């Protein structure tokens, strides 16, 4: 699979959702403010990430993590790009 996006930081929903992609460190995750984020913005972001080749890893595969600000960390995995919904 060809990777165009090697490193990126994306912010959505007025900063309540952020995406961190670092291919060199194999670190792909989303940070979500659990009290403030919009579920619509999250769905739109996940759809966009699917189009560029990233999807959420099933939460059953890891323990939830929180950063120092109380945001929940969700991990991403590379996948085949999906068609826009």
Chain segment 23-40, per-residue pLDDT in tens? 889 999 999 999 999 999
Detail the DSSP E strand segments found in 1-85: 7-12, 17-22, 27-32, 54-56, 65-66, 72-78
Let me know if residue 83 belongs to a domain.
no
Which residue range(s) make up the domain with 7?
A: 1-61+73-78
Query: What's the pLDDT at 45?
Result: 96
- For residues 20 and 26, is the Cβ–Cβ distance under 8 A? no
Domain count, the chain: 1
Could you read off the pLDDT tens digit of each residue along the chain, which spans 85 residues?
A: 445 678 889 999 999 999 999 988 999 999 999 999 999 999 999 999 999 999 999 988 988 899 999 999 999 999 998 887 7
Dmax over CA atoms of the chain, in Å, equals 36
Query: What's the pLDDT at 63?
Result: 84
Query: What's the pLDDT at 4?
Result: 60
Q: Which CA distances in Å does 9 have to 63, 75, 83?
A: 23, 14, 22
Let me know if residue 20 belongs to a domain.
yes
């Amino acid at each position: 699979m060809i990777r165009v996006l090697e490193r990126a930081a994306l912010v959505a929903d007025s900063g309540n959702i952020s995406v961190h992609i670092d291919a060199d460190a194999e670190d792909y995750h989303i940070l979500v403010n659990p009290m403030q984020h919009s579920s619509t913005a999250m769905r739109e972001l996940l759809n966009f990430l699917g189009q560029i080749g990233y999807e959420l890893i099933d939460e059953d595969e890891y323990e939830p993590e929180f950063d120092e600000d109380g945001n929940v960390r969700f991990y991403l995995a590379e996948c085949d790009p999906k068609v826009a919904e």
